Amino acid sequence: MIQRIQTLYLVITAIVSGILPFVFPLWQDESGETKIYFMQNMTYAALFGLSFTLALVAIFNYKKRQNQFVANRLNIILNLILLGLFVYRSLTLSGEVIASEKGIGIFLPIAAVVCLVLANRAIKKDEELVKSVDRLR
């Protein structure tokens, strides 16, 4: 069923990784005038796009809860890799970026991971409910 709570979490994840990176910059240059978005680095764009695609696959894979669960786990790993790249970039190249000028876009993978964990928890509850009903038959 598409009206389950995990679908809401997955839609939020799709919005966070598919739409919000266009709105929020990752960081600004030293002068504060030029905002750096994810589209300026092909690696970030590919990882955000893949995360968005995995969220959509999980949304429309609602009949197969195990596949949905696996897609969410892959998406969590992908977002942690993306977060690791952001942390690495902010720590190693901090000479060109002022510490107070980091954008909110760096924290988007954290929001996606939280929503994915909540979706996995809801999927697990559904799976346990189905197994308990099958035992009663």
- Position 86 scores a pLDDT of 85
Average pLDDT estimate for 42-46: 89
Q: Assess whether pLDDT exceeds 70 at residue 85.
A: yes
CA angle, 111 then 80 then 6, to 5° = 45
The answer to whether position 101 is within a domain reads yes
Q: What whole-number percentage of the chain has pLDDT above 90?
A: 45
More confident residue, 36 or 4: 4
Check: CB of residue 62 under 8 Å from CB of residue 2. yes
Return the half-sphere exposure (C-beta side, CA atoms, 13 A cut-off) of residue 87: 9
The answer to whether position 134 is within a domain reads no
- Residue-number span of the structural domain to which 12 is assigned: 5-128
Average pLDDT estimate for 57-73: 91
94-100, Cβ contacts within 8 angstroms, sequence gap of 24 or more: 96/29, 96/30, 97/27, 97/28, 97/29, 97/30, 98/28, 98/30, 98/32
The answer to whether position 135 is within a domain reads no
Q: How many domains does the chain have?
A: 1
Instruction: Look up the pTM and report it.
Output: 0.84
The answer to whether position 137 is within a domain reads no
C-alpha–C-alpha distance, residues 63 and 89, integer Å: 39
The answer to whether position 18 is within a domain reads yes
The answer to whether position 111 is within a domain reads yes
Check: CB of residue 11 under 8 Å from CB of residue 124. no
More confident residue, 30 or 95: 30
